[in-house]
Structure 1
């Protein structure tokens, strides 16, 4: 079986001492592609050379809400210029979105909607971050409709919210959260969603799986996420290969890889 990690910060410093070894291990496990999002202007720029070093990496460009303090006024224009220049190397725009745990929702919204416009201009999907903000994201999607879909990273909303995003052309990112028994709402929703609307992800080095708390998460955990998803959807061994192929196709079609 082959996998795509649809959301992995493989360029982060946590992997500096073991990145080459991890890449080899990923290949051995059938994890053939890592989608690496952009989070700041400087890091988005550095991803260009990073992707040239590692053939398994596909990159995106974006301004993440976590780094609001670093996103000064001209960064939106510079991000657009950079994305236009390197359009052929990109598979998505993001990570972008709205996060209620971070100040200045108005500025976050402005930045998010700029990403939507940029993705539409470049005919690319979006990678969307959310935290207690599904209503705000829905408002932005109404004002500025994405034309090429995307993925709702680390989806943890209701079934109604899941269905809304799917109608807007989005897929739902499924990661380590579903390995926690306490995440009953998310587990229940994911179990009801057809595989063509789901993507596997790790969000490494963040979001460790249950049983691995306190450890650095890595893309090597992706098959464990897959196994947990199989359990939730009651996919038995004879059907796992077909189910995995559906998930793989869902991801490769969205990102055109």
Structure 2
């Protein structure tokens, strides 16, 4: 009987330091690997978990990677954030310059498994002034430029503004637009700036018609896969924690939407993931 070879998959966005993975990280990684997801990128959300994401990658060097940054959602729950003008968003004591200085210092000691800045971006839903979010996002673009790293973008109802800022600050190192759920025109605008489009569990929902149509039409060389686990559960698994072991289901749905075989697209997605993070595609 011919042996069935699983496609190689790279989960480009998984919060592997969050619960429920903390209870048995080794088991979670084994389940992930057994599913064919042999590489995984862990984005950070703030200073409080930089050490955690870095330490996790030592469990499987060259298979687990990480990114460092400030997520807009966590600006008031990490160590505090103060704008450049001195106005406080919470009771924290660190201002913008101090936070960015900490990021620069941490990056100076980073290892080869740190491959991006992020998760960073803008979020119109969270209770943090957009002006404050923009300040720290722009500062992170500067850090990424100096470090020669791409960025992992978070965006909720802010894609137009993110595009403006990326163009305004002439950011050319690209990255990944995480958790994409927009129009083809919006996606193409990011692609033209050197970004890949993160395709996740949202495409498994029949009601996500616009996003499903878009990922079916976009160039395959502009796409990467992600789960955002433990968030963003797939259709049929609502109410459960998401897991990187479910990434093959996202691949399967993408192949169906594009009317291609899984084998035909899997290697391209594998290559795309390594290319955008400057990794050797073995």
Q: TM-score, normalised by structure 2?
A: 0.87
* Distance in structure 2 (CA, Å) of the matches to 1:120 and 1:87: 17
* Distance in structure 1 (CA, Å) of the matches to 2:164 and 2:275: 27
Alignment match, 2:179: 154
Q: How big is each residue's C-alpha offset from its partner over 1:182-240, in whole Å with a ceiling of 9 and x where there is no partner?
A: 1101111111011110000000000000000000000011000000000110113xxx2
Unmatched 5+ stretches in structure 2: 1-6, 82-94
Unmatched 5+ stretches in structure 1: none
Q: Which of 234, 239, 243 is the matching residue for 1:218?
A: 243
Q: TM-score, normalised by structure 1?
A: 0.95
Q: Which of 64, 87, 90 is the matching residue for 1:57?
A: 64
User: RMSD in angstroms over aligned alpha carbons?
Assistant: 1.3
* Distance in structure 1 (CA, Å) of the matches to 2:111 and 2:152: 16
SS in 2 for 1:13: coil
Per the TM alignment, residue 54 of structure 1 is displaced from its structure 2 partner at its CA by 3.4
Alignment match, 2:253: 228
User: Conserved in 2, the CA contact under 8 Å of 1:123 and 1:147?
Assistant: no
The answer to whether 1:104 aligns with 2:140 is no
Measured at CA, do residues 45 and 17 of structure 1 come closer, stay the same or move farther in structure 2, by a change above 3 Å?
Answer: closer
User: Conserved in 2, the CA contact under 8 Å of 1:8 and 1:219?
Assistant: yes
- Map of 1:98-247 to 2, 5 A cutoff? 98-102=122-126, 103-236=128-261, 240-247=262-269
Larger radius of gyration: 2
Alignment match, 1:248: 270
Of 246-255 and 137-146, more deviation after overlay is shown by 137-146
More helix by share: 1
